[in-house]
Amino acid sequence: MSTKINKILQSALVVLTSGVLFATSISAFAQDGVGIVPTNQDPEKPLTKAWIMLRVNPGETVDSSVTLQNNNDKDTEVQLNPKDATQTAQGAFSFKDDSEKDTLVGSWIKLSKDKVSVPAKSAVDVPIKITVPTGTKAGEYAGVVSSQTAPTGSESGVQLVTRVGTRVYITVPGDLKADAKINSVELINPRSKDYKKFWQTSGSTSNFDDIFVNVDYQNAGNIYTRLAGTITVTTPDGDVKKDFSSDLAPTSDPLVQTVPLGKKWKVGDYKVIGLPHYNQFK
């Protein structure tokens, strides 16, 4: 009765605060507005079309660049901001809010300029420098160079701010370890507050007597790792198996994923096992 897991990739967040609507995403080019991508792309590495991926030694400074592409019919001013990457409670890739202090990649990136006017239907390159502090431990680290346009008004009085970003992945050479572990696997008691809360907030169309399992897991290495496994629940009607797969950030806190079994509670004995069947590099 023990073991842990979850997932991480792209994020889209919309929050209404003080009359301003923020739309945030980790993407390459926005169809409308201003997109941002790495300037130096390697045809042999497809991910570099959207992400900056560098290998940097402690104490070393490297040059890189981002390209702002204005798809508007008018000149647009863009605010650039480097930020640390984060992982949401659901395991998705995200980045710190502007009010949060950066301690890793966000603080390593220095922009040649943080405000750029991009001509209509044109692109502008913005050089950046990345310095990995002396003494930084080996591993993979992530951040974002985000671009934000000025608020646009609406008839309702709500202002819309669009913020997009390109990911920055830094590998510090050394003893790189891909590892992940399941900390615990637990059936959610249908009479518990956790069960009722999940059922009420998940938007699930499941019945209130359906069986759910909480799987608690985390990255145990120092690079981005994918953990996959199988949950086996022994019920009065026999075994039920559910596969899971999640990408895990090396610096993230443990994640908890709730897995529906598609079975209903019956009187009898239950046993749950979480078994990881592979770890692999992301």
Q: What is the spatial distance between Cα 81 and Cα 132, in angstroms, rounded to a whole number?
A: 18
- Domain membership of residue 5 (yes or no) is no
Query: Which of 65-79, 177-191, 268-282 has the highest average model confidence (pLDDT)?
Result: 65-79
Which residue segment(s) compose the domain that 225 sits in? Answer: 180-281
Same domain, 185 and 250: yes
- Domain membership of residue 197 (yes or no) is yes
pTM for the whole thing? 0.80
118, burial (CB in 10 Å: exposed 0-12, middle 13-18, buried 19+)? buried
Same domain, 214 and 273: yes
- Domain membership of residue 245 (yes or no) is yes
Q: What is the pLDDT of residues 228-261, one digit of tens each?
A: 888 899 999 899 998 887 889 998 888 888 888 8
Q: How many domains does the chain have?
A: 2
Boundary residue ending a domain (146, 172, 198): 172
Same domain, 270 and 166: no
Q: What is the spatial distance between Cα 129 and Cα 161, in angstroms, rounded to a whole number?
A: 27
Q: Are 130 and 64 contacting, i.e. CB atoms less than 8 angstroms apart?
A: yes
Same domain, 36 and 158: yes
Same domain, 165 and 44: yes
Q: What is the pLDDT of residues 212-236, one digit of tens each?
A: 888 888 899 999 988 888 889 999 9
Four-point Cα dihedral 96, 58, 180, 169, nearest 10 = 50
Give residue 1's pLDDT band: very low, low, confident or very high (50, 70, 90).
Answer: very low
Same domain, 53 and 87: yes
Which CATH number covers residue 136? 2.60.40.10
- Domain membership of residue 36 (yes or no) is yes
Q: What is the spatial distance between Cα 49 and Cα 35, in angstroms, rounded to a whole number?
A: 12
Same domain, 201 and 232: yes
- Whether pLDDT at 192 is above 60: yes
Same domain, 124 and 28: yes
- Domain membership of residue 253 (yes or no) is yes
Which CATH number covers residue 230? 2.60.40
